[in-house]
Structure 1
Amino acid sequence: MERKYWNINLEEMIKAGVHLGHDFQKWNPRMAPYISAKRKGIHITNLTITARFLSEACDLVFDAASKGKTFLIVGTKKKVSNLVASAATRARCHYVHKKWLGGMLTNWPTTEKRLQKFRNLRAEQKMGKFKRLPKRDVAKLKRKLSIFQKYLGGVKYMTGLPDIVIFVDQKEEYTALRECVILGIPTICLIDTNCDPDIADISIPANDDTLTSIQFILTKLVSAICEGRSNYISRAI
């Protein structure tokens, strides 16, 4: 794996609030090695450790992108929805930002059928086939398309299981994370002080409630993916 310098600045992390954890009464004792202090009733994450794990995660996604691997970014909390979609689009990754449909990965054949139906409906609409149908039928098809777009729009071009999945909130996306564990799909996960650091392959201790913190982490990962993709394309030409 190629090692790179990802310019992970501790001062910028503090400014983004990456170090701010949860109320100490809500902590997970397994997070003890990643906590440096307790201030005003909340735990403070050790940013030196965060920087090390974030750097390792960047190395991993850079190396994977350099080999043409696929990524899925998952973050369904309302306040991070647009951020996840934007970051994934920039890195040309698949994403789920509204709701995780149980079995999306572990029951891949069913998901694949849904995606094919979604793609077929989109194609029929673009070709103008809806115009030949009765208004009632068109209305039903448009409602179905709207539902597909809401829940599967970010994975509509996914043709197989992703090679790596990135999660922005362990608690919120626990079902999806467990599916990856079952399937043996490598995972990267932001973990706040109330999370379990042992579930994901790479756990990045960080504030998962503040947009600036999540954006900081995602920006680094996305930049590494984009750089890796550039290497992959350069070698292919």
Structure 2
Amino acid sequence: MVQVTMKELLEAGVHFGHQVRRWNPKMKEYIFGERNGIYIIDLQKTQRMFRDAIAFVTNAIAEDRGKTVLFVGTKRQAQDAVREEAERCGQFHVNQRWLGGLLTNFQTVQKSIKRLKDLEAMQTDGRYEKLTKKERIKLDRERESLNKNLSGIKSMNRLPDVVFIIDVRKEEIAVAEANRLGIPIVAVVDTNCSPEGIDYVIPGNDDALRAVRLFASRIADAILEGQQIATEGGVAAQTEADETAAGEAAPAVESAGAEQPVAPAETEAADTVEKLETSNGSEVGNAASPAPKPAKSNAAANEGAETVVAAN
């Protein structure tokens, strides 16, 4: 499981909150104390709650590798970290401006995404060359605007399963939309924010670059670990299914063989093979070699027949 140490939290400055006069009383339980007019966040609670958030993300992805996480962080300090970490784990991100209705009016957003893809296709298939200079400039501006806001969700064809947010105060619209749709939220919550509506609160500094990078990187690591678990689980499930199918096929072969009369020696050899298949599948190849037994039994049967004829 992805871990986060107290040393990492301290070095990243996660414990530094906002000025005392800018606090939100709803964050009181996560505050350790005050120093030089700044609230200090209780890192023991941060570490525990961060681990809970990591475990939730890992398990969510492990249950279904197709689940997606949307990284949201539009403030300047979070833009690069959100984009880089989301791309590293193959997820989606919004790091410029949250478009109102991005979640609650997703069908309209998809139309904008389609428009962006059409404009990009026009550049590659030669249609741009047939336009006037004025028309090209107009379309370029439209494409740049759409790409700026939608590049991180261009391939997102359905609503995300989890939303990870840096600074819930700035991204309050994203929080409201996710809550309305019942999408779980994992978020970094500073001392000037409200933890209400957040499913997995991570009390911490949402302004320091190193702190933001630490939070985003650990969530990305949790996603990658969940994907690995899902892949390994899928292989194990497929192996188990193959073994089950092989076990079901064996009785069918046995029943088909029972329709034809066979010599006692051949029946005995078949029983031996079946027992070996049941006890150890790797010995089936060796068990298939008792071909001489049926030959000896047939010879013995012929000798018996000659004896009966001679007696008559």
TM-score by length of 1: 0.94
What is the DSSP-based 3-state SS (H/G/I as helix, E as strand, rest coil) of the residue aligned with 1:36? Answer: strand
Q: 2:42 aligns with which of 37, 42, 46?
A: 46
Q: Residue in 2 aligned with 1:100?
A: 98
CA deviations on 1:3-58 (whole Å, 9 max, x unpaired) are x3x22110111111000011111111111111111111111111111111111111
What is the DSSP-based 3-state SS (H/G/I as helix, E as strand, rest coil) of the residue aligned with 1:165? Answer: strand
Cα distance in 1 for partners of 2:3, 2:92 equals: 25
Q: Residue in 1 aligned with 2:185?
A: 187
What is the DSSP-based 3-state SS (H/G/I as helix, E as strand, rest coil) of the residue aligned with 1:38? Answer: strand
Cα distance in 1 for partners of 2:57, 2:155 equals: 20
Q: Residue in 2 aligned with 1:129?
A: 127
Any stretches of 5+ residues in structure 1 without a counterpart? Answer: none
Cα distance in 2 for partners of 1:80, 1:33 equals: 26
Q: Which has the higher contact order (CA 8 A, sep 6+)?
A: 1
CA deviations on 1:157-213 (whole Å, 9 max, x unpaired) are 010111100001111101111111111111011000111112211110000010111
Sequence identity percentage? 36
CA deviations on 1:55-84 (whole Å, 9 max, x unpaired) are 111111111222121110010012321121
Q: Residue in 2 aligned with 1:57?
A: 53
Cα distance in 1 for partners of 2:46, 2:91 equals: 24
Deviates more, 1:150-159 or 1:6-15: 6-15
Cα distance in 2 for partners of 1:49, 1:104 equals: 32
Matched, 1:217 2:215: yes
Alignment of 1:18-167 (within 5 A): 18-66=14-62, 67-68=64-65, 69-167=67-165
What is the DSSP-based 3-state SS (H/G/I as helix, E as strand, rest coil) of the residue aligned with 2:221? Answer: helix
Contact residue 17 and residue 190 of structure 2 kept, 8 A: yes
Cα distance in 2 for partners of 1:79, 1:12 equals: 19
Cα distance in 2 for partners of 1:72, 1:133 equals: 37
Deviates more, 1:8-17 or 1:120-129: 120-129
What is the DSSP-based 3-state SS (H/G/I as helix, E as strand, rest coil) of the residue aligned with 2:71? Answer: strand
1:236 deviates by 4.8
Q: Do the aligned partners of residues 126 and 61 (structure 1) sit closer, same or farther apart at CA in structure 2, a change above 3 Å counting?
A: farther
Q: Residue in 1 aligned with 2:244?
A: none
What is the DSSP-based 3-state SS (H/G/I as helix, E as strand, rest coil) of the residue aligned with 2:27? Answer: helix
Contact residue 77 and residue 212 of structure 2 kept, 8 A: no
Q: Residue in 1 aligned with 2:243?
A: none
What is the DSSP-based 3-state SS (H/G/I as helix, E as strand, rest coil) of the residue aligned with 1:106? Answer: coil
TM-score by length of 2: 0.72
**Corresponding letter in the other structure for 1:110:** T
Cα distance in 2 for partners of 1:107, 1:205 equals: 30
| RMSD, aligned CA | 1.3
Cα distance in 2 for partners of 1:126, 1:59 equals: 43
CA deviations on 1:66-104 (whole Å, 9 max, x unpaired) are 212111001001232112111111111111101011111
**Corresponding letter in the other structure for 1:18:** V
Cα distance in 2 for partners of 1:60, 1:121 equals: 39
Cα distance in 1 for partners of 2:4, 2:232 equals: 26
Q: Residue in 2 aligned with 1:11?
A: 7
What is the DSSP-based 3-state SS (H/G/I as helix, E as strand, rest coil) of the residue aligned with 1:179? Answer: helix
Cα distance in 1 for partners of 2:57, 2:31 equals: 26
Larger-Rg structure: 2
Any stretches of 5+ residues in structure 2 without a counterpart? Answer: 236-312
Q: Do the aligned partners of residues 234 and 144 (structure 1) sit closer, same or farther apart at CA in structure 2, a change above 3 Å counting?
A: farther
* Residue correspondences, number: 233
**Corresponding letter in the other structure for 2:201:** S
